[in-house]
Amino acid sequence: MMYLKGGQIIDPVEEEIYRADLEIEDGRIRKILKEGGQAPKEAEVLEAPGLMIAPGLVDTHVHFRDPGFTYKEDILTGARAAAAGGFTQVVLMANTKPCVDRKETLSYVLEKGKQTGIRIHSCATVTVGMKGQELTDMEELAREGAVGFTDDGIPLLQEELVRRAMEEAARLQRPISFHEEDPAFITNNGIHAGKAAAFYGVKGSPREAEISLIKRDLRLALETGAEVVIQHISTKEGVALVREAKKQGARVHAEATPHHFTLTEEALIEKGTLAKMNPPLRTQEDRQAILEGLQDGTIDLIATDHAPHSREEKEKKITEAPSGIIGLETALPLGIRELVKKGYLTLPGLIRKMSTEPCRLYGLEGGRLMEGKPADLVVFDPEETYLVEHFLSKSANSPFIGEELPGVVHAIICAGRLVYHRK
Catalytic residues: 305
Please return the burial class of 17, using the count of CB atoms within 10 Å of its CB with bins 0-12, 13-18 and 19+.
middle
Whole-angstrom Cα distance, residue 136 to residue 106? 13
Q: Are 288 and 342 in contact (CB under 8 A)?
A: no
Amino acid at the residue 151: D
Amino acid at the residue 107: S
Contacts of 418 (CB under 8 A, 6+ apart): 2, 44, 46, 411, 412
